[in-house]
C-alpha cells in the first residue's frame, strides 16, 4: 500500500483520524503522538491530522522518523498526512516524512516553510586556544543544522515542481503557500 500507486483518497476517508494532533510541536505532542500511533489500526489507512503554528524541529524529525520507519516495516498500513488550517514550520518538517502521494491539506490550509532559527549568545573568555575551540564548536553546530535543514527541504520537494534552490531562496523570509498552491506545485497530492 505504500508504493507510488497508492489510491487517491476521498473526503470520507478522513472522517475519523487515528492520530489527531494540534498545538506546538514539542515533547508533549510527541508523547501524545506515540500513544496514538501505538493504538492505531494494525492495517489499512492511518490518518495523521495536524494543526500547528510550529515548534521544535527535532521533535518533528523524531515523529517523522517514526512514520518513515513504520511505513517501511508495516506495509499493511498506509500512513496519510492531513494538514488542517495551519501547518507551519516544524509541522511542514513532519509532513515532509510522508510520501508525497500521502500528503493532503484541507481547503484553506496554509503551509509555512522557513529556515531553522538559532538564538545563541557566544561568550569568548579564557586561553586563546580554548576560545578557538568554542568558536569552532558553534560554527559546526550551525553547519550541521543547515545540513539537517536541507535534508528536510529535499524530502519536502522530492517529486514536486519546487526545486531545492527555490525553497532555499524563499525559506529565509518565511514562505507561505495555501493548499491550492501546494497542490499545484506538487507538494501534496490532494485537498479535502
- The string of pLDDT tens digits covering residues 46-75 is 999 999 999 999 999 999 999 999 999 999
Predicted pLDDT of residue 5: 53
Residue 105 lies in a domain: yes
Into how many domains does the chain fold?
A: 1
Q: Once rounded to an integer, what is the mean pLDDT over residues 151-168?
A: 94
Residue 114 lies in a domain: yes
CATH of the domain at 69: 3.90.226.10
Residue 73 lies in a domain: yes
Residue 175 lies in a domain: yes
| Residue 2 reports pLDDT greater than 50 | no
Beta bridge partners of 176: 112
Q: Give me the long-range contacts of 33-40 (CB less than 8 A, separation at least 24).
A: 33/63, 33/66, 34/66, 37/66, 37/70, 40/77
Predicted pLDDT of residue 16: 94
For residue 114, the enclosing domain spans: 11-191
| Residue 25 reports pLDDT greater than 90 | yes
Residue 171 lies in a domain: yes
Residue 1 lies in a domain: no
Percent of all residues in the chain with a pLDDT value above 90, rounded to a whole number: 80
Residue 3 lies in a domain: no
Predicted pLDDT of residue 128: 86
Is residue 120 packed enough to be buried (19+ CB in 10 Å), middle (13-18) or exposed (0-12)?
exposed
**Alpha carbon distance 69, 172 (integer Å):** 30
Predicted pLDDT of residue 120: 80
| Residue 180 reports pLDDT greater than 70 | yes
| Residue 1 reports pLDDT greater than 80 | no
Q: Give pLDDT tens digits for 120-150.
A: 888 888 888 888 988 999 999 999 988 998 8
Residue 2 lies in a domain: no
Amino acid at each position: 500500500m505504500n508504493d507510488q500507486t497508492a489510491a487517491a483518497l476521498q473526503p470520507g476517508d478522513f472522517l475519523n483520524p487515528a492520530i489527531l494532533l494540534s498545538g506546538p510541536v514539542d515533547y508533549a505532542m510527541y508523547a501524545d503522538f506515540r500513544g496514538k500511533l501505538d493504538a492505531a489500526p494494525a492495517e489499512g489507512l492511518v490518518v495523521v491530522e495536524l494543526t500547528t503554528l510550529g515548534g521544535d524541529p527535532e521533535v518533528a524529525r523524531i515523529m517523522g522518523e517514526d512514520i518513515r520507519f513504520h511505513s517501511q516495516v508495516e506495509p499493511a498500513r498506509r500512513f496519510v498526512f492531513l494538514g488542517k488550517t495551519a501547518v507551519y514550520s516544524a509541522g511542514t518538517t513532519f509532513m515532509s516524512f510522508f510520501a508525497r502521494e500521502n500528503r493532503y491539506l484541507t481547503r484553506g490550509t496554509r503551509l509555512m516553510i522557513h529556515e531553522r532559527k538559532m538564538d545563541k549568545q557566544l561568550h569568548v573568555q579564557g586561553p586563546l586556544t580554548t576560545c578557538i575551540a568554542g568558536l569552532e564548536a558553534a560554527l559546526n553546530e550551525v553547519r550541521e543544522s543547515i545540513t539537517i535543514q536541507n535534508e528536510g527541504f529535499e524530502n519536502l520537494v522530492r517529486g514536486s515542481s519546487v526545486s531545492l534552490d527555490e525553497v532555499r531562496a524563499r525559506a529565509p523570509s518565511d514562505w507561505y503557500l495555501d493548499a491550492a498552491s501546494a497542490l499545484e506545485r506538487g507538494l501534496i497530492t490532494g485537498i479535502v
